[in-house]
Amino acid sequence: MHHRRPPAHSDKRTLRRELLQVRNRFTADDVEAASGALAERALELPELARAGTVAAYVSVGSEPGTLALLDALRARGVRVLLPVLLPDNDLDWGEYAGAESLARVRHGGRMELLEPAGDRLGPDAVTTADAVLLPGLAVDARGMRLGRGGGSYDRVLARLERADAHPALVVLLYDPEVVGHVPEEAHDRPVHAVVTPSAVRRFGNV
């Protein structure tokens, strides 16, 4: 009997669920400890060392913590852009001006995000970044990333492509989230590097 492979999007759903179950067991202390180590590792990346502008994000819940890294980048004089979720799941951007400049915003009862107060720079602001930090749930040995499924960063990546912008794409994860294989769809593109609390891994195929 001939078995067809399930479509990538159903494989992705299953893998997402498994990875989130593990992530949700982390304590606040686990997240905090990972945050400091992640910042140290990420700051060693040449792609971040020479960046004038970095598009990043504020971690929520059990995501690997990004605030220590945002503050370290800002202390270096880097312009840090942070996303603002729009009603259609696209992203606008604002400049990070320190932890006290973040506002808690609830999006339609779904989730509470920390977003930059201050001026909105427009969705195309991301095309000025030298490096883009992407949230995710896993990256595989080829540099393919499994996102959270909301589609916001698919739009960001499509916008970069349309603008012929080529920033370094970096995913921040926990160590066990670097996996053997992530199912991909035709529009998926590999990233340049993954940073975990214990290591930096760069992919030479992009």
pLDDT at 4: 45
Please say if the pLDDT value at position 66 is more than 90: yes
Give CA–CA dist 99/101, Å, rounded.
5
Phi, psi of 171 (to 5 degrees): -105, 140
Please say if the pLDDT value at position 5 is more than 60: no
Using a pLDDT cut of 90, give the percent of the chain over it: 74
pLDDT at 60: 87
Query: Which residues sit in the known binding site for ATP?
Result: 12-16, 145-153
Please say if the pLDDT value at position 145 is more than 70: yes
What single string gives the DSSP state of each residue in the chain?
A: -PPPPPPHHHHHHHHHHHHHHHHTT--HHHHHHHHHHHHHHHHT-HHHHT-SEEE-----TTSPP-HHHHHHHHHTT-EEEEEEE-TTS-EEEEE---GGGEEEEEETTTEEEEEE-S----GGGGGG-SEEEE--SEEETT--EE--SS-HHHHHHHHHHHTT--PEEEEE--GGGEES-----TT----SEEE-SS-EEE-TT-
Residue among 169, 157, 160 at smallest CA distance from 205: 169
Query: Which residues sit in the known binding site for substrate?
Result: 58, 63
Please say if the pLDDT value at position 91 is more than 50: yes
Query: Which residues sit in the known binding site?
Result: 12-16, 58, 63, 145-153
Please say if the pLDDT value at position 173 is more than 90: yes
Q: Which domains does the chain have, with CATH numbers?
A: 8-202 (3.40.50.10420)
Give CA–CA dist 30/23, Å, rounded.
10
Please say if the pLDDT value at position 9 is more than 80: no
Segment 8-28 shows an average pLDDT of 87
Instruction: Look at the block and give the residue holding tokens 């990043």.
Output: 56
**Under 8 Å between Cβ of 28 and 162:** no
CA within 13 Å, CB half, 133: 29
Segment 25-35 shows an average pLDDT of 89
Segment 57-81 shows an average pLDDT of 94
Please say if the pLDDT value at position 1 is more than 70: no
- pTM of the prediction? 0.91
Give CA–CA dist 167/81, Å, rounded.
13
Please say if the pLDDT value at position 6 is more than 80: no
Higher-confidence residue of 6 and 89: namely 89
How many CB atoms are closer than 10 A to CB 60? Answer: 13
Please say if the pLDDT value at position 127 is more than 80: yes
pLDDT at 189: 86
